[in-house]
Amino acid sequence: MNLGKRFRLSRRTFLRGSGVAVALPYLQAMMRSSAVAEAAAEAPSRMGTFYFGTGMNMRQFTPADEGPNYTATRILKPLDKHRGSYTVLSNMYLAEGGGHDGAYPFATAVAKGEKQRISPDQIAAKAIGGDTRFASLQMSVDRGTNYGSQALATSSWNEQGVPLAAENDPKRIFDRLFRPDTPEQKAQEKGEFRRRGSVLDYVRADAKRLDGKLGKADRQQLEQYFNSVRELEQQLERRIDWADKPKPQPQLDGLHDYAKPMPGPEGNGEYLYDDYAKMMYDLIVLAFQTDSTRVISYVVRKELAGGVYPEFHVSKGYHALTHHGNDPQNLEELAKVDTIYMTHWAYLLSRLQSVKEGDGTLLDRTVLGLSSGMGFEHSKDNLPTILSGGAGLGVKHQGHLKLKDQTPISSMWHTMVDRVGVKVEGDFQDSKGVIKPLVT
Amino acid sequence: MSQRARMMWGAAVIGGLLLWAIAWNGAERATPIESIASAAPKPAPTATTAPSDAPPAPKLADAEAYAKTIKPFFAKHCTACHGEEKQKGKLRLDTLAVDFVTPKIATKWIEVMDNLNLGEMPPEEKPRPDIHAQMAVTHWIAAELRNAERLSHGAGGRVVLRRMNRTEYANTIRDLMGMTFLPGDSPVEFLPPDGTAEGFDKVSAALMLDPSLLNNYFEVAQIIADKAIADGPPPFKTETMRLEMEDIAKNRAIDYLCATPGIECGEKDIVLMRGSTRSYGVMKYPGTHDEIPVKGMYRIRVRAWGERSAEGDAVIMRVRQNHPQADQELLMETEVTDEPKVYEIVVPRDPKCGEYNVSIVNETGFETTSQAGVQIRTGQDMAGKAKDYERVIRLQSRQQMEALTWGMPDPKAADTSKLRKLHVDWIECTGPLYDQWPPKSHEMLLGKGEGSPDPARLNVIFERFMTRAFRRPVDATEIDPIVALCRSELEAGATFNDAVRAGVVAVLCSPRFLYIAEPSNTKEPRPLDEWEMASRLSYFLWSSMPDDALFDLARAGKLRDPATLTAQVDRMLADERADGFVRGFGAQWLRTDEFRNFTPDTKIYKQYNDKLGEAMVGQTLAFFGEVLRRNEPATCLFDSDWTMLNEPLAKFYGIDGVTGEEFRRVKLPADSHRGGLLGMAGVAMRGSDGNRTKPVNRGKYVREVLFNDPPDPPPPNAGEVEPNIKGKNLTVRDRLIQHQQIESCAACHKGIDGYGLALENFNAIGAWRERQDGENFRGKNTPPIDPSGTLPNGKSYETFEQYKALLGEQKDRFARGLSEKMLTYALGRPIEPSDRGLVDRLATQMAAHGYTLRSLIDGVVTSEAFMTK
């Protein structure tokens, strides 16, 4: 039963054992050749949520007809080669969205200004993020959270409703995921772990002392501090746990090498957005492929701010274009920009599909949802929404699926977390259930 | 009693209190007000603080107005379909709770407001409600929604524990550690932007902390601790690199310069009539292949002089360094004297920079177009296109024989004796420069003279450090854990310096450093202690920690004394750290960050460039700073006969005699339109979309900024003023007036547009215009601008100047709005109904003291609200 034993090696054990980690994460070698199907069931599930701020030109997004053979619209055209791997969802609605406040309720259905709650990616991270180096990754075109601003930089919220800061420099993300530590760094790391541990011990005790002297409202505020200390302690444990396991070394054939810092593309003329977009999407593929994380959220385009780059050759900012006032040039340029973004989306799907895993592809075991905080003309309905991937997780794609009017976007999240194995009791946010045609 | 009724009662009482409580001394300064006049304060029994038995947490809003206005309206127009019998759209209004806090219920109210505003309800076939009755309903809903939002940000009038925002963090580190940061190295760059609530980044509700931010704090603290303590001599010692220009002739890499027309290599200098000289390969930092070895401050010196042209104009010299970022290239640009002089500048530089380059800006052209050359080249092109290759070759050989190119020497430059000449003797770079070594931060932490690395000193080191970091005295129980932490580091093999660093990191991650803590677990508000007063003051006026003078006063127990307080306000505002107030309060109040939200279309607005955009923001901040420091009335914002200008902006405004990038006060010509806030280009540009003006948006700005009176929110999908339909050429104003044909739109717009239309004289980049421009208006015969309008108070104006005068009549409304904003900023909490009396008093006090910001600040810092937790 030697083979059987090998098969049961967990991925983590495997990575720990192999001195130099290998490009292919989900190694065929780990599977019994006669039991590929079984193995596929063992392969991890992944999930990604994607925010495209400020809506899209829905006149050139929504197909006129339905079903798997819908007639492609201009903006969806780039996705054609992936027919069958995605579903365009019409009539998606964000009750608290529209205007430019939609980035807040996007993942949580909680309005801007209200106390937030955990976002679907973090719900998924709790379920499937336990065995990876990173429970989840927050990626964005901007750093931090921008909490308070309409141009929120993140779409992830933790259990306490606190926004999780995102990273926008592909090099920094790459370094965190893959850059091997030099012996010097390794030596320093030991000291850092120790120092971090004692600093965390100290500040927790200090906060406790302070807490005892505070009133109720102040204590509620300090609760965020305690939560953060707790979270950092867990992260530290996780790091210590993973410290002796070498980081996986992805093969970068034909990809960028992530050698240079690339702080966000906005107002940055030093590189093309096209490169940036591909590097960020490649990182997602590499992170999933090496099983460094199973959950990602990515703010591809912020609400209100930014969104176009010199190489797009359009006359205005994205937001300015959405105030199109029926000016044909504005509408044309909007569609042009949207199509560029969809071309990149098609790139991500291609890359995920190019990675074989078991008898399927990485895309089969990855479910990705993209949408916006507003539709067209700052509306709260008519959101540009596409669910991609996840065939191996039981997603049945429908081409263009027209849902009931004002179907909450949370029903897409509901469907996604359901597919990666989260048991949802009752309603999920304002969703009354999963999107049936996608799962039956 | 309803909440609103209680507020009005409170205001009336306050009005009475004012009569006896405020004693003016007649001078320009305000005397501090009533209850804090005693040095040992107690919560005063005035209506300024909420009665302790009734913390204002009203879920039920203005019930009286509901009964009187809302319910009858619903009964008349709505409940037939949304009532007991029928609930169309699952909406029932007769039982809809008057609750704007519970999201599910508040959402229904928003729906009601939106549908009324959109004119979609009641449906078309039903009788139209009276527009005023309808307005009363939508207005009431909007006001209650705003009230609920404020409540959610506040805690019943108490100041809630908050963390520092990132600006405060960086300033505090600067003052705590005695450190200065090079551009790009400030802690601000390592911390994510902060949220805002109530318009400011000072309110607890928006200053959240999440794990990644705490992690950021940890990492920034490590960088700071590393930099603060020096382990030995500086890694790179200060060196001087110099190029004597006469050496260029001997340098084979760059001696070609001497053969260039317009450049002459002298025995002691180089003479430039055109172009530039360079330092290729010569001025490397010793032992390296780079100009400089490390990011730091460097002194650049150049010895040069000029020979004027025959017309007598002076020579302008530019010194540059190569750098991948264009905005890092310029080192200095200056007119040179006729006598040799050394020109010097100290600049931050990073090692990405390359060789130096000195040029004459007002150079003479040494080449002119060669007609023969142009002819022969175009002749070749044409022959090539005609496939007459024989002719091409013939022309090519002629071109070579006669050495023809596009250009040829300009005969006008043949006599060089009359040309402007820049003489450069040498260029020199010294650096990296250190103010001192070990750095000041090192001495502040470890003490001067570097005692032995003796663990016994840890207690002294950290007592000194923690007292300042926590902004209050610390006792042994607080110091011991840090010392223990350092000792355990020592035991683990760390050096003494590294152990201290670990302690510094721990202190900088402590909640008592990161938060502005005012412990209080009593239900009753309590007076602040001296140390808390010091911090409230310093974070209000400096966005930083208290300095030694404030600490000394706190220690001496004097900081609650009103006379001391106003003296401290004087001192603090005179200090350069008051820039923290200009960039904190001034910028956020006047929304200078939004000025450049839309990039102007430079195809239409050719005058616009980034420098001008920066100057627009700079002007408004400088104006605010001037009003603050010179004690000008804040009503200058309505109109003034002066403004702050630098060269790019003065040129843009058509005002002569301003040179250089520095802002200075300039007296405006009598016919200038540039007085006050609304005459500033940045404000106009903010209220534009890059192509055309947005009068509604501008009107909203005026209401929000000058009067703190935001209009009700527009219904969803309210849209924008549409662009012109083909063939029509209507102005923005025309189209806006078209939009107002809809009665329900007009009702709201009446309250906004009057504030914005007067600004139509300023185009999308804030240039003065009297005829329509932008969009597709070109040429001279565009329609004239009509800036006339009517304010909601019924007063009409014909011109921008009249409009400014009308606004200027509303000084009291302005003073109230400003007092609310300032109080929000100072306290870091939203204004609550219970603050009403205080706001009234502050506004009155401002009016009595010529509307100076200082009188308002005095009033704020001596108020009950400021001095209690």
Q: Report the 10 Å Cβ neighbour count for B496.
A: 19
* Assigned domain for B490 exists: yes
Q: Are A155 and A299 in contact (CB under 8 A)?
A: yes
Is the domain of B670 the same as that of B764?
A: yes
Are A221 and B162 within 8 A, CB to CB? yes
Number of domains chain A contains: 1
- Distance of residue A24 Cα from the nearest chain B Cα, in angstroms: 30
Give dist(CA A212, CA A208) in Å, integer.
6
- Distance of residue A153 Cα from the nearest chain B Cα, in angstroms: 10
Instruction: Find the length of chain B.
Output: 869
Query: Does the CB of A146 have a partner CB in chain B at under 8 Å?
Result: yes
Query: Does the CB of A151 have a partner CB in chain B at under 8 Å?
Result: no
- Distance of residue B478 Cα from the nearest chain A Cα, in angstroms: 8
Residue A70 neighbours by CB under 8 Å, 6+ apart: A63, A64, A88, A399, A400
Give dist(CA B110, CA B575) in Å, integer.
48
Q: Which residue of A has its CA nearest to B145?
A: A113
- Predicted pLDDT at B450: 59
Is the domain of B462 the same as that of B511?
A: yes
The pLDDT confidence band at residue B727, using thresholds 50, 70 and 90, is low
Rg (CA), chain A: 22
Is the domain of B210 the same as that of B126?
A: no
* Assigned domain for A110 exists: yes
Do β-strands A137-140 and A295-301 pair in parallel, antiparallel, or remain unpaired? parallel
Total H helices, total E strands in chain A:
12, 9
Are A144 and B193 within 8 A, CB to CB? yes
How far from the centroid of its chain's Cα atoms is residue B508's Cα?
Answer: 27
User: In this model, does residue B27 exceed pLDDT 60?
Assistant: no
Query: Does the CB of A194 have a partner CB in chain B at under 8 Å?
Result: yes
Give dist(CA B377, CA B397) in Å, integer.
11
Is the domain of B849 the same as that of B705?
A: no
Q: Which residue of B has its CA nearest to A216?
A: B521
Nearest to B174 by CA among B548, B577, B738: B577
* Assigned domain for A217 exists: no
pLDDT digits (tens, 9 = 90+) for A42-64: 689 999 999 999 999 999 999 99
Better-predicted residue by pLDDT, B363 or A394 = A394
CA distances from B316 to B258, B268, B273 (A): 21, 20, 11
- Predicted pLDDT at A183: 86
Give dist(CA B848, CA B858) in Å, integer.
13
Least confident among A86-100, B185-199, B637-651:
B185-199
Give dist(CA B820, CA B335) in Å, integer.
49
Mean pLDDT of the A398-404 span: 96
Peptide bond into B438 cis (omega under 30): yes
Q: Report the 10 Å Cβ neighbour count for A270.
A: 11
Is the domain of B691 the same as that of B794?
A: yes
* Assigned domain for A380 exists: yes
Query: Does the CB of A223 have a partner CB in chain B at under 8 Å?
Result: no
Phi and psi dihedrals of B459, rounded to 5? Answer: -60, -45
User: In this model, does residue B135 exceed pLDDT 70?
Assistant: yes
- Predicted pLDDT at B201: 92
Are A320 and B690 within 8 A, CB to CB? yes
Identify the top-confidence range among A226-240, B286-300, B414-428, B516-530.
B286-300
**Contact residues, A window 370-389, toward B, CB-based 8 Å cutoff:** 377-380
Q: Which of A96, A147, A377 has the CB atom closest to B719's CB atom?
A: A377
Q: Which residues in chain A are closer than 8 Å to B521, comparing Cβ atoms?
A: 213-215
Do β-strands A366-371 and A46-52 pair in parallel, antiparallel, or remain unpaired? parallel
Is the domain of B265 the same as that of B180?
A: no
* Assigned domain for B633 exists: yes
* Assigned domain for B191 exists: yes
Instruction: For residue A46, list its beta bridge partners.
Output: A366
* Assigned domain for B579 exists: no
User: In this model, does residue B660 exceed pLDDT 50?
Assistant: yes
* Assigned domain for A59 exists: yes
Are A206 and B209 within 8 A, CB to CB? no
The pLDDT confidence band at residue B46, using thresholds 50, 70 and 90, is very low
pLDDT digits (tens, 9 = 90+) for A119-172: 999 999 999 998 899 999 999 999 888 877 789 999 999 888 888 889 999 999
Give dist(CA B345, CA B730) in Å, integer.
54
Q: Which residue of A has its CA nearest to B205?
A: A221
Q: What percent of chain B has pLDDT over 90?
A: 54
The pLDDT confidence band at residue B378, using thresholds 50, 70 and 90, is confident
Is the domain of B540 the same as that of B683?
A: no
CA distances from A82 to A67, A364, B253 (A): 14, 12, 58
Mean pLDDT of the A180-189 span: 85
Q: Which residues in chain B are closer than 8 Å to A213, comparing Cβ atoms?
A: 519-521
Last residue of a domain, one of B133, B153, B173: B153
- Predicted pLDDT at B722: 65
- Predicted pLDDT at A22: 37
- Predicted pLDDT at B411: 74
Give dist(CA B158, CA A220) in Å, integer.
14
Better-predicted residue by pLDDT, B842 or B56 = B842
Is the domain of B511 the same as that of B532?
A: no
Are A379 and B599 within 8 A, CB to CB? no
Are B716 and A99 within 8 A, CB to CB? yes
* Assigned domain for B249 exists: yes
CATH number of domain containing A369: 3.40.720
- Find tokens 């992944």 and name the residue: A46
Are A210 and B149 within 8 A, CB to CB? no
Nearest to B352 by CA among B328, B370, B373: B328
Mean pLDDT of the A63-74 span: 96
**Residue B478 domain boundaries:** 161-234+439-517
Give dist(CA B772, CA B724) in Å, integer.
14
Give dist(CA A114, CA A93) in Å, integer.
19
Tokens coding B27: 């001078």
Q: Which residues in chain A are closer than 8 Å to B155, comparing Cβ atoms?
A: 217
- Predicted pLDDT at B714: 77
pLDDT digits (tens, 9 = 90+) for B763-774: 999 999 999 888
Best of B208, B216, B466, B712 to substitute, by most chain A Cβ atoms within 10 angstroms, is: B208
Q: In 3-state terms, chain A is what percent helix, strand and coil (to 5)?
A: 40, 15, 45
Mean pLDDT of the A394-419 span: 96
User: In this model, does residue B465 exceed pLDDT 50?
Assistant: yes
- Predicted pLDDT at B111: 82
* Assigned domain for B819 exists: no
Mean pLDDT of the B644-658 span: 95
Best of B111, B204, B212 to substitute, by most chain A Cβ atoms within 10 angstroms, is: B212
Are B161 and A222 within 8 A, CB to CB? yes
Identify the DSSP state of A364.
G
- Distance of residue B469 Cα from the nearest chain A Cα, in angstroms: 14
Q: Which of B191, B324, B481 has the CB atom closest to A205's CB atom?
A: B481
Mean pLDDT of the A268-283 span: 92
Q: How many beta-carbon pairs below 8 A join chains A and B? A: 176
Mean pLDDT of the A236-263 span: 90
Q: Which residues in chain B are closer than 8 Å to A379, comparing Cβ atoms?
A: 716-717
The pLDDT confidence band at residue B61, using thresholds 50, 70 and 90, is low
Are B520 and A207 within 8 A, CB to CB? no
Three-class SS state of B754: helix
Is the domain of B334 the same as that of B213?
A: no
Question: Is the ipTM above a cut-off of 0.85?
Answer: no
How far from the centroid of its chain's Cα atoms is residue B415's Cα?
Answer: 53
Element holding B642 (H helix, E strand): strand B642-645
pLDDT digits (tens, 9 = 90+) for A77-111: 999 999 999 999 999 999 999 888 899 999 999 99
The pLDDT confidence band at residue B410, using thresholds 50, 70 and 90, is confident
Burial of B803 (0-12, 13-18, 19+ CB in 10 A): buried
Is the domain of B667 the same as that of B801?
A: yes
User: In this model, does residue B672 exceed pLDDT 90?
Assistant: yes
Three-class SS state of A178: coil
User: In this model, does residue B87 exceed pLDDT 80?
Assistant: yes
User: In this model, does residue A36 exceed pLDDT 50?
Assistant: no
* Assigned domain for B820 exists: no
pLDDT digits (tens, 9 = 90+) for B776-826: 787 777 889 999 999 988 999 999 999 999 999 999 999 999 999 999 999
Q: What percent of chain B has pLDDT over 70?
A: 90
Are A235 and B210 within 8 A, CB to CB? no
The whole-chain average pLDDT of chain B stands at 86
Tokens coding B616: 């627009």
User: In this model, does residue B149 exceed pLDDT 80?
Assistant: no
User: In this model, does residue B110 exceed pLDDT 90?
Assistant: no
Are A165 and B149 within 8 A, CB to CB? no
- Find tokens 């110091």 and name the residue: B479
* Assigned domain for A207 exists: no
* Assigned domain for A193 exists: no
Are B210 and A162 within 8 A, CB to CB? yes
**Residue A287 domain boundaries:** 2-180+246-439
Least confident among B157-166, B672-681, B760-769:
B157-166
Burial B31-43 (b: 16+ CB within 10 A, else e): bbbbbbeeeebeb
Mean pLDDT of the A381-391 span: 97
Give dist(CA B699, CA B305) in Å, integer.
54
* Assigned domain for A197 exists: no
Phi and psi dihedrals of A2, rounded to 5? Answer: -55, -45
Give dist(CA B575, CA B396) in Å, integer.
72
- Predicted pLDDT at B326: 82
* Assigned domain for B816 exists: no
**CA torsion angle B233 B234 B235 B237 (round to 10):** -110
Total H helices, total E strands in chain B:
32, 18
Give me the helix-helix angle, B548-555 and B562-574, nearest 10°.
170
Is the domain of B700 the same as that of B787?
A: yes
The pLDDT confidence band at residue A377, using thresholds 50, 70 and 90, is confident
Q: Which residues in chain B are closer than 8 Å to A145, comparing Cβ atoms?
A: 192, 195, 210
User: In this model, does residue B48 exceed pLDDT 50?
Assistant: no
Best of A147, A201, A297 to substitute, by most chain B Cβ atoms within 10 angstroms, is: A147
- Distance of residue A276 Cα from the nearest chain B Cα, in angstroms: 19
Q: Which residue of A has its CA nearest to B714?
A: A99
Number of domains chain B contains: 6
Is the domain of B325 the same as that of B245?
A: yes
Q: Which residues in chain A are closer than 8 Å to B523, comparing Cβ atoms?
A: 215
Better-predicted residue by pLDDT, A327 or B667 = B667
- Predicted pLDDT at B788: 93
Query: Does the CB of A269 have a partner CB in chain B at under 8 Å?
Result: no
Give dist(CA A385, CA A58) in Å, integer.
10
The whole-chain average pLDDT of chain A stands at 87
Are B512 and A325 within 8 A, CB to CB? no
